[in-house]
Amino acid sequence: MRSVALSPQNRHAALEAMRAEPLDILVVGAGVVGAGIALDAATRGLSVGLVEARDFASGTSSRSSKLIHGGLRYLEMLDFRLVAEALGERALLLEKLAPHLVHPVPFVYPLTHYGWERLYAGAGVLLYDTMGYLSGRSRGVPHHRHLTRRGARRIVPSLRRDALTGAIYYFDGQVDDARHTMFLARTAAAYGAKVASRTRVTALVREGDRITGARVTDLETGDEFEIAAKQVINATGVWTDETQSLAGERGQFHVRSSKGVHLVVPRDRIRGEAGLILRTEKSVLFVIPWDRHWIIGTTDTDWSLSKDHPAASAKDIEYLLEHVNKVLVEPLTPADVQGVYAGLRPLLAGEDASTSQLSREHAVSTAVKGLTVIAGGKYTTYRIMAKDAVDAAVGQMASTLDRRVPECCTEDVPLLGADGFEALWNQRQKLAQESGLGVGRIEHLLKRYGSLITELLDLIGEQPDLGKSLKGADDYLRAEIVYAATHEGARHLGDTLTRRTRVSIEYFDRGTDVATEVAELMGDVLGWSAEQRAREVDHYLKRVEAERESQTMPDDETADAARMGAPDVVPVDRDKPVPAAVPR
């Protein structure tokens, strides 16, 4: 498949095309489900538009635990179908669809009781592995094994001796969620979908009792126009109810938000070669390896405040540190925390007061003609959710099509960067020699770009200065910043520091030291004026300041108020032309 850049030119052309010609399907929301829907529909031969009010994956899809997993704890809930479904998707992602973005990650599950717990937990993990086989695909990860206490502490020396009697060692999958979602949108564009971020739906257009499109505002220019479509699919996650209300009718289900907070700490703070999964009184707690860091999470609490920027409070941070410190030889302190992020899970509302008991399964509604709504689910099963949404939409519009729409084929459609990844991984020594970069750097790039690394290396070949590391964020190259703006749809400084890279959570300064350098690199290719560059930096600094303040607040209400002290939208230069030729 030919690579397509999510460039400013591509965005402009996509908006013009959506304005000019009716679509078969307009997808609202470019999280993992919306982007997956766009790819599914495009690969069935339908004309598709995908619009997102902010950035790709700017909501829940960039703030997960970054795991591709079946969910061991769902076995305890006897939700066998969800687990089996998710394990099948895990294998697909690891082996075929996105091997450059999804990788096996090991975990140690400490046991705290002799005898019965090993039998109970061991049976559960055995069933977990077995269900991976029963999905009809290989598991994609090694088989689990049992460990003694000494064996577990050999793998994770930071475990307190009195914190376990033994352990089980098993594997799941890990993903950079924001990059994976962006790759979904970019792959959809490669198959013909019209893709545009920073395009907000302000109304749904009706003709009689049917939805026939949407009115949108281009937040970069202020331009307003209508997009006509046979079907609109609402894939807005925690904003489902708000988007559904634009149809003027009550939906068949409601979505409730559950806040999940994660901490990021340096890798040297916990000595270990595998992650941990720990039981808590409410749910489970993960300690997840993440390059030179650990991700610790998550909380699971009801949230009814701002959905745009859920805030982590001091109480959330204390909860996570308290629980992880119960098993560590050297306790973590707030000073060890490099980054904090909070996300909202879209759960189908139920009667149970505890969000950890609400459904992680998804539902599809077609109560209003011309409008399909999908909500719930979990990140790992996004492809199945996308299939179900497109099937429902196609069923609604069958009478308006003059052709039969093929079945879903996305289980055989690798994302951009997947084809050729394994061969290039085998050639990483050669790539390092040819590019002048270290082997470790090439491995890092291959896991972020896959076979598209050649586009990045070509960029460095043309401008050798881009092969240097960012000053103050040396895990990333200057070329990655330019590429984010020219090929990956990054429109603003926060897009790049928060989602195309993870500078905002991986460094103690949270990206403030590198903000000016990144703004200069992006500004050069996006045509920003000096004033716009200054606005971008100022906006980002205020956002970080507000987040830091929110994390000192005692509860959700005060944390939310502090976080909302920073402006939500970066002001932009109006009437500026689309930058001239950027690589396509």
Is 227 within 8 Å of 49 (Cβ atoms)? yes
Phi, psi of 355 (to 5 degrees): -70, -25
The length of the chain in residues reads 584
Phi, psi of 228 (to 5 degrees): -90, 140
**What is this structure's pTM?**
0.95
d(CA 214, CA 232): 8
Beta bridge partners of 473: 470
Of 90, 95, 54, nearest to 185 by C-alpha is 54
Find the DSSP H helices in 164-313. 177-190, 240-245
d(CA 530, CA 533): 5
As a three-state string, the secondary structure of 504-546 is HHHCCCCCCCCHHHHHHHHHHHHCCCHHHHHHHHHHHHHHHHH
Q: How many CA atoms lie within 13 A of 211 on its CB side?
A: 31
Sequential pLDDT tens for the chain (584 residues): 789 999 999 999 999 999 999 999 999 999 999 999 999 999 999 999 999 999 999 999 999 999 999 888 777 777 788 888 899 999 999 999 999 999 999 999 999 999 999 999 999 899 888 887 766 566 688 999 999 999 999 999 999 999 999 999 999 999 999 999 999 999 999 999 999 999 999 999 999 999 999 999 999 999 999 999 999 999 999 999 999 999 987 777 889 999 999 999 999 999 999 999 999 887 789 999 999 999 999 999 999 999 999 999 999 999 999 999 999 999 999 999 999 999 999 998 743 343 333 345 789 999 899 999 999 999 999 999 999 999 999 999 987 888 899 999 999 999 999 999 999 999 999 999 999 999 999 999 999 999 999 999 999 999 999 999 999 999 999 999 999 999 999 999 999 999 999 999 999 999 999 999 999 999 999 999 999 999 999 999 999 999 999 999 999 999 999 999 888 766 676 555 565 544 43
| Residue written as token pair 């303040």 | 549
DSSP label of 103: E
